[in-house]
Amino acid sequence: MSIALSDTSTTAAHRYVMTFVCEDRPGIVHAITGAIVAVDGNIAESRQFESGDSHRFYMRVEIVTAASLEEVRTALAEVIDRFGLEATIDRVGRPLRTLILTSTATHCVNDLLYQASTGNLAIEVPLVLGNHETPARFAEFHGVPFEHRPVTSAEEKAAFEDRVREAIVEHDVELVVLARYMQILSPELCADLAGRCINIHHSFLPGFKGANPYRQAYARGVKQIGATAHFVTTDLDEGPIIEQEVIRVDHTRSPRELMALGQDTEVRTLRQAVGLFAQSRVLLDGSRTIVFR
Amino acid sequence: MSIALSDTSTTAAHRYVMTFVCEDRPGIVHAITGAIVAVDGNIAESRQFESGDSHRFYMRVEIVTAASLEEVRTALAEVIDRFGLEATIDRVGRPLRTLILTSTATHCVNDLLYQASTGNLAIEVPLVLGNHETPARFAEFHGVPFEHRPVTSAEEKAAFEDRVREAIVEHDVELVVLARYMQILSPELCADLAGRCINIHHSFLPGFKGANPYRQAYARGVKQIGATAHFVTTDLDEGPIIEQEVIRVDHTRSPRELMALGQDTEVRTLRQAVGLFAQSRVLLDGSRTIVFR
Amino acid sequence: MSIALSDTSTTAAHRYVMTFVCEDRPGIVHAITGAIVAVDGNIAESRQFESGDSHRFYMRVEIVTAASLEEVRTALAEVIDRFGLEATIDRVGRPLRTLILTSTATHCVNDLLYQASTGNLAIEVPLVLGNHETPARFAEFHGVPFEHRPVTSAEEKAAFEDRVREAIVEHDVELVVLARYMQILSPELCADLAGRCINIHHSFLPGFKGANPYRQAYARGVKQIGATAHFVTTDLDEGPIIEQEVIRVDHTRSPRELMALGQDTEVRTLRQAVGLFAQSRVLLDGSRTIVFR
Amino acid sequence: MSIALSDTSTTAAHRYVMTFVCEDRPGIVHAITGAIVAVDGNIAESRQFESGDSHRFYMRVEIVTAASLEEVRTALAEVIDRFGLEATIDRVGRPLRTLILTSTATHCVNDLLYQASTGNLAIEVPLVLGNHETPARFAEFHGVPFEHRPVTSAEEKAAFEDRVREAIVEHDVELVVLARYMQILSPELCADLAGRCINIHHSFLPGFKGANPYRQAYARGVKQIGATAHFVTTDLDEGPIIEQEVIRVDHTRSPRELMALGQDTEVRTLRQAVGLFAQSRVLLDGSRTIVFR
């Protein structure tokens, strides 16, 4: 009986995903894979890249093993320590705890919640926080708590951000998504959320930064409009880009129609960026991102 | 016998393309189609658009008729006069006399000459004028005269532009294409060529204007790079956009690789813009273009 | 004063969209535009095409006029009669009464209802009819009646189709959309709905007809997967194509992941096709479609 | 002196690319990276994948090291032997010796030769072999030998294929490209060239196999047309797909125009597939390909 149980436990395959970042030097992969061998792990998929800019080493590995998450972490601890690796080790597919901030537009928040509900997007959303009430019913439909906190003064803005910080702690939040949240975060909050906060900008950056990008795109007469998902930094619309999409438009489209057409591009770009992040496929390399698709 | 011959001649179908631009008001299309009916013309394809910006009327029509070009022009003269139409009337498929200016890069000029030679691009090129000699052998291969005139001083630049003006007259040039010509045209020449000179810029405008756009794109970490074909104006890289294309790139690409990848996008974007223009599908609406694909 | 009022009333602009189809012959456009002039109509946008296959004439016009819909119809009646035109004349933007049929998958029906609710898609949905209950809560959320009728036998299938016919009459339905409805319609219903029923097939037709297209795509190792929106005919997955989209995939994707990725392409393709149809931009030319974008 | 030379040789960094394929089992990566460590190699980029279909292991690695190619091969020999790896080890960027077969169309062969001449495509072409003479002048322009051998009978076809085999030996050919070569290869030659012969088919496979795909696409009324680069097998147009591209078309395009439009898609798809292959990024997994972009 106990043998049978033990066998079952041994053969039960777990799938883990790991990322490693450090100053590049020879032997890192050999050391990491040595630790993987030590837990009888089989590498199912791996990507590695040395940045020509920063001479830093970036790696993402998925392994299959009978070992527990704790055993894998223990096996890798010495290597992580020796090479000074920034490392993450997690179960493949574990939903990322994600806080969503919104304003009046509902298309992005609606899609994120819908995709999460179907299992196509590996996030779980403990809270949607909005400075307008419009998205409330979408959150409710998906069984997600919604809080409305207006931001019409400096005091209210500070209170909103306090609530963000509080919610992050309360729900152990791993990612903050600005799903068309139309307020600029304070420099302090930007700094605190560095590399953990994704915004969707409704233009193909660096074109049309700031307000009313569809009106700007119309005025300039561009033939494709786009959307850009990027990490939030203190420089508005200048954070590291994670994903960009475009669609073809023509002279017949009014600014209002560009806005309607662009919504779908925003939805897909943000969903894609959040999904890649949730799968540990997005790593920061200074002002650029490494995206292991 | 003579009757039979005459019949044949009458039924021989010609295909003409016309464009009309004017201040919008009711009755224009009815008047134009009345003139078309008068020459027993059948409309094969037509597009029309009223610009919300300028309240101007834009129309492109292809007709099939046994009438001669002269007869069609005569039939339309009264309408053109009455409505104050800017009008063009031409045979469908007549190659546009196109002057190409180049520098060292050969990919765009090579493609334009190749496409013209296969008949896929309705242009004929009486002359390629370069401030470097590299493209000479491609021109020679396609049987097109090439002139090399260095531009290393203000005097040489003025002489180059004088030659451009002269060649335009000499060869009855209808379109000037800057096929990666890396000199800035003088304001006077820009003004004289307004709406008749197409440039290819190697970025997705308005992003990355000016020099080294691929290096800029690399530094910014964009996930798609593009090219933009636009009419030349005195504002550098600010002219009305005719066509834009993008391709997906990722973090593994160096600036040099972006440049190599981008060449194909430049080639296609410029070819597309020139082809649309040669088919009378591109009309100017202030700082924007109407493109009837 | 009364003159001023009268003026105001005269200048109150209505926007109408018309389509005309007939055997091609000279003078049609002139006659149509004559009738438009007669109601002081101004053409805002028009497209016309003569099919080389069928020698039929296809036209779509948007006009702006102070005349009522009835006045416009009266003005055109003589032309329609004289040329034997198949004609539609409607207000621009009037939502099309659309019956949606569904099965278990919710992504398409959810998107259609969401887009209709935001006004981005010009349809109104009086009823969603499903052979499974899954989509019920999405319909309810959007305030749209949902009926569940299982189809597990020939009798139930006949009853389902009877209900479709009944609902069409009851709600004056203009378009039936199969939003991943996984039953094959009877030849009789296909015939009755000819040109009024749009299906979304989850492959890039004509590749991968029939069941399990994502599994077929995986097995064949294609590098892009797609979706096709088409009119329903008695030949399964052979009806006239309205719209197609593709996305890039690679060897790392399992059939299950292809299915998840493909959902977004299905959603966009179907939404696009329905939107084009609702704007009177889709006309039938035998086994092909004319789509005036 | 000799010491100085030796030092130079030691510090001169070489970049090598390796691919490994075998039955999957734990420890392979660790063993390979151990050998890389042994030559002081640094991994610049790596990709790895375990096929769910075949349970085979696929890996591509680029390393930087001062060691010679011979030293690297020696270091890996034991691992290759122990795991029964199919392995390739080569200098990054070494041009692949490529034999091109053509018929009358020149767009693909012209592009391949042009791209090779600019260094954007890492191939060198010792010979172009055509059953028609049209491409001769393009080969001549690029300084590449061209042989014309008509294929109008079974005897001539056999002679043509004999010349292919001979040329492969004579020029140590590593890749054969069918650049719109419109003859079907014999089953024997297909078998002998398995995994070493790339064809471009002018449709989005599996749609429109066989002859006249653009005419088929027109008849079916598809809204996008494509091209497919694939390995040649004895099943016509059924070989493992390497790359696919599509472009949007509409009802206004005649079969002839589709053909002209499609040429550019063919060119890009073939160039992309050949470039990926030349960089050791394409590996066979049964009837599918692993493409490590």
Q: Residue B52 contacts by C-beta under 8 Å, 6 or more apart in sequence?
A: A254
For residue B10, the model assigns a pLDDT of 43
Query: Could you give the percent of chain D with pLDDT greater than 90?
Result: 90
Convert the pLDDT of each residue in B155-208 to its tens digit.
999 999 999 999 999 999 999 999 999 999 999 999 999 999 999 999 999 999
The subunits that touch chain C, with at least 3 C-beta pairs less than 8 Å apart, are A, B, D
Convert the pLDDT of each residue in C12-26 to its tens digit.
689 999 999 999 888
Which one of C91, C119, C142 terminates a domain? Answer: C91
3-state DSSP assignment of residue C88: strand
Q: Are residues B42 and B84 in the same domain?
A: yes
Low-confidence stretches of chain A (pLDDT < 50) are 1-10
Q: Are residues A85 and A123 in the same domain?
A: no
Give the Cα separation of D71 and C187 in Å (integer).
Answer: 71
Convert the pLDDT of each residue in C204-244 to its tens digit.
999 999 889 999 999 999 999 999 999 999 988 899 999 99
Q: Are residues B242 and B196 in the same domain?
A: yes
Of the listed ranges A131-135, C86-90, D5-9, D257-261, the one predicted with least confidence: D5-9
Instruction: Pick the closest to residue B246 from B260, B232, B234, B264 (CA basis).
Output: B264
Tell whether C25 is within 8 A of chain D (Cβ). no
87-126 in C: which are within 8 Å (CB) of A?
106-107, 110, 114, 118, 120
Which one of B91, B113, B129 terminates a domain? Answer: B91
Q: Are residues A78 and A100 in the same domain?
A: no
Give the Cα separation of B150 and A239 in Å (integer).
Answer: 43
Q: B110 to chain D: which residues are within 8 Å by CB?
A: 114
Give the Cα separation of A41 and B256 in Å (integer).
Answer: 38
Q: How far is D24 from chain C (nearest CA, A)?
A: 16
For residue B12, the model assigns a pLDDT of 67
Tell whether D143 is within 8 A of chain B (Cβ). no
Say if residues B122 and B96 touch (Cβ distance below 8 Å): yes
pLDDT band at D273 (very low <50, low <70, confident <90, very high): very high
Q: How far is B118 from chain A (nearest CA, A)?
A: 28
- Terminal Cα-to-Cα distance of chain D (whole angstroms): 43
Query: Annotated catalytic sites of D, by residue?
Result: 237
For residue C11, the model assigns a pLDDT of 53
What's the token pair of residue A260? Answer: 């309607």
Q: D252 to chain B: which residues are within 8 Å by CB?
A: 45
Q: What are phi and psi of B275, to 5 degrees?
A: -65, -45
Q: A208 to chain B: which residues are within 8 Å by CB?
A: 206
Give the Cα separation of A267 and A290 in Å (integer).
Answer: 22
Q: Are residues D87 and D149 in the same domain?
A: no
Q: Are residues D73 and D109 in the same domain?
A: no
For residue B116, the model assigns a pLDDT of 97
pLDDT band at B1 (very low <50, low <70, confident <90, very high): very low
Which residue would you say has higher pLDDT here, B254 or D12? B254
For residue A7, the model assigns a pLDDT of 37
**B vs C: CB pairs below 8 A:** 62
CATH number of the domain to which D195 belongs:
3.40.50.170
Residue A237 annotated among the catalytic residues of the structure: yes
For residue C26, the model assigns a pLDDT of 85
Q: B50 to chain C: which residues are within 8 Å by CB?
A: 42-45
Of the listed ranges B38-52, B70-84, B186-200, C90-104, the one predicted with least confidence: B38-52
Please compute the mean of the pLDDT values over residues B106-134 and round it to a whole number: 97
Q: B208 to chain A: which residues are within 8 Å by CB?
A: 206
The subunits that touch chain A, with at least 3 C-beta pairs less than 8 Å apart, are B, C, D
pLDDT of D94 higher than 70 = yes
pLDDT band at D211 (very low <50, low <70, confident <90, very high): confident
CATH number of the domain to which A52 belongs:
3.30.70.260
Q: Are residues A86 and A175 in the same domain?
A: no
3-state DSSP assignment of residue C24: coil
Which one of C70, C91, C112 terminates a domain? Answer: C91
User: Which residue type is seen at C192?
Assistant: D
Inter-CA distances, B55 with A28, B23, B25, C16, C66, Å: 66, 6, 9, 18, 18
Q: What mean pLDDT, rounded, does chain C reach?
A: 93
* Site from A111, A214, A261, A292 to mutate, C interface, most C CB atoms within 10 angstroms: A111
Q: What are phi and psi of C238, to 5 degrees?
A: -120, 0
For residue B6, the model assigns a pLDDT of 36
Inter-chain residue contact D291 with C250, CB threshold 8 Å? yes
Catalytic residue (choose from A24, A90, A192, A237) = A237
Which residue would you say has higher pLDDT here, B25 or C156? C156
Q: What mean pLDDT, rounded, does chain A reach?
A: 93
Inter-chain residue contact A42 with D34, CB threshold 8 Å? no
Tell whether D140 is within 8 A of chain B (Cβ). no
For residue D210, the model assigns a pLDDT of 87
Convert the pLDDT of each residue in B123-137 to its tens digit.
999 999 999 999 999
Inter-chain residue contact B42 with C25, CB threshold 8 Å? yes
Give the Cα separation of B166 and B173 in Å (integer).
Answer: 10
Give the Cα separation of B150 and B170 in Å (integer).
Answer: 21
Q: What are phi and psi of C68, to 5 degrees?
A: -80, 165
Q: Are residues A82 and A112 in the same domain?
A: no
Q: Are residues C111 and C67 in the same domain?
A: no
Instruction: Pick the closest to residue B180 from B218, B249, B246, B131 (CA basis).
Output: B131
Tell whether D241 is within 8 A of chain C (Cβ). yes
Q: Are residues A271 and A176 in the same domain?
A: yes
Query: Could you give the percent of chain B with pLDDT greater than 90?
Result: 90
Q: Are residues D45 and D134 in the same domain?
A: no
* Other beta carbons less than 10 A from residue D154's beta carbon: 9
Q: Are residues D129 and D265 in the same domain?
A: yes
Convert the pLDDT of each residue in B236-263 to its tens digit.
889 999 999 999 999 999 999 999 999 9
For residue B17, the model assigns a pLDDT of 98
Range of the domain at A40: 2-91
For residue A96, the model assigns a pLDDT of 98
Number of compact structural domains in chain D: 2
Say if residues C198 and C232 touch (Cβ distance below 8 Å): yes
For residue D53, the model assigns a pLDDT of 78
Convert the pLDDT of each residue in A152-192 to its tens digit.
999 999 999 999 999 999 999 999 999 999 999 999 999 99
For residue A54, the model assigns a pLDDT of 85
What's the token pair of residue D105? Answer: 């169309």
H or E element in which residue C146 lies? strand C146-148
